[in-house]
Amino acid sequence: MTVDTGARRESPRSKRSSILTAAIEQFGRIGYEHTKWASIADEVGIGQTALYHYFESKAHCLLTIMRLELADSVDRFASATENETDPEKALRAAVAAALRAEPIDALQRRILQNHMDLLAQPRQSEKEEAERLRSRELVQEIEQNWTELIERGAEAGVFTGSDPKILGRMVLAVVISVWRWYRPEGTLTLADITETVTDTAVRMVRA
């Protein structure tokens, strides 16, 4: 997902996706704290006041980006595992789906991991709070999905009988930690990383 320069000529009413793309690129590359709200408007080609048709604040935009990524994570997990009856194959598919990304996806996931603390405390803004609460629900759904996958493997005798909730969180932590340090321009490819993380995850839960 990239910013289309041709989108600069669009009506402000159709700018939401362009604003999100510009925000992901700037928050991900130079940091949320260092990104000026006005610079996003400049990137998209609208006045700063037009941003408020879509997001009431920079924090509202950030929380929306986080919520969208969490929702996408839920969808990727479901698509990867829903038709796989073998627990180990399902786990491998889930890890692969979690680590499949275009460069802008990697940025969005880095943003999410770097700002998870925002979900801990209520927001004064009604719109920000709505995004925060929905994000928390999605986090719980993601954790539950991984837990249930581990439970299924334990019931089948493929995975260890240890606490599946703890194991699910441990596996998920290994997977999502990649986005804190992975860089598309780096020497490690996502394919190499996925292979290593998948093998690690399987070793963690295998009976």
> Would you say 152 and 87 are in contact if contact means Cβ atoms under 8 Å apart?
yes
- Which pLDDT score is estimated for 62? 98
In this prediction, residue 3 has a pLDDT band, given cuts at 50, 70 and 90, of: very low
Please write down the HEC assignment for all residues of the chain. CCCCHHHHHCCHHHCHHHHHHHHHHHHHHHCCCCCCHHHHHHHHCCCHHHHCCCCCCHHHHHHHHHHHHHHHHHHHHHHHHCCCCCHHHHHHHHHHHHCCCCHHHHHHHHHHHHCHHHHCCCCCCHHHHHHHHHHHHHHHHHHHHHHHHHHHHHHCCCECCCCHHHHHHHHHHHHHCHHHHCCCCCCCCHHHHHHHHHHHHHHHHEC
159 has which bridge partners? 206
What would the pLDDT profile of 13-30 be if each residue is shown by its tens digit? 569 999 999 999 999 999
Confidence label for 11 from pLDDT (cuts 50, 70 and 90):
low
pLDDT of 10 higher than 80: no
What is the model's pLDDT at position 13? 57
pLDDT tens for each residue of 88-126: 999 999 999 999 999 999 999 999 999 999 999 999 999
- Predicted confidence (pLDDT) per residue in 31-88, tens digit: 999 999 999 999 999 998 999 999 999 999 999 999 999 999 999 999 999 999 999 9
pLDDT of residue 191: 96
- Give CATH superfamily name and number for 63-205: Tetracycline Repressor, domain 2 (1.10.357.10)
Q: CA-to-CA distance for 144 and 130, rounded, in angstroms?
A: 21
With a cut of 80, say whether residue 1 has pLDDT above it.
no
Residue 2 pLDDT more than 60? Answer: no
Class of domain 1-54: mainly alpha
pLDDT tens across 181-198, in order? Answer: 999 999 999 999 999 999
Q: Whole-model pTM?
A: 0.91
pLDDT score recorded for residue 63: 98
Over residues 134-139, the mean pLDDT reads 98
pLDDT of residue 160: 93
Domain ranges for the chain: 1-54, 63-205
